[in-house]
Amino acid sequence: MATDPFDSLFSLEDQYYDEGYREGHRDGLQQSELEARLFGIEKGFEKFVIMGKLQARAKIWAARLPHQGGVEASSSNKTMASVPTLSANPRLEKHIGTLLELVDSTTLSIVNTDDDVGDFDERLRRAQAKVKIIERMIGEEDIESNGETNNQNATAVNSTATKNMEDFGLR
The Cα-based distances of 81 to 13, 91, 149 in angstroms read 78, 25, 26
Model pTM greater than 0.85?
no
Instruction: Categorize the per-residue pLDDT at 167 as very low, low, confident or very high, splitting at 50, 70 and 90.
Output: very low
Which residues are CB-contacts of 138 (< 8 A; sequence separation ≥ 6)?
61, 86, 92
pLDDT of residue 1: 55
Instruction: Categorize the per-residue pLDDT at 68 as very low, low, confident or very high, splitting at 50, 70 and 90.
Output: low
73 against 52, higher pLDDT? 52
What does the alpha-carbon distance between residue 43 and residue 150 come to, in Å, rounded to a whole number?
16
What count of residues does the chain have? 171
Enumerate the β-bridge partners of residue 149. Answer: 143
Enumerate the β-bridge partners of residue 143. Answer: 149
Q: Is the pLDDT assigned to residue 13 strictly greater than 70?
A: yes
What does the alpha-carbon distance between residue 81 and residue 12 come to, in Å, rounded to a whole number?
80
Terminal C-alpha separation, the chain = 64
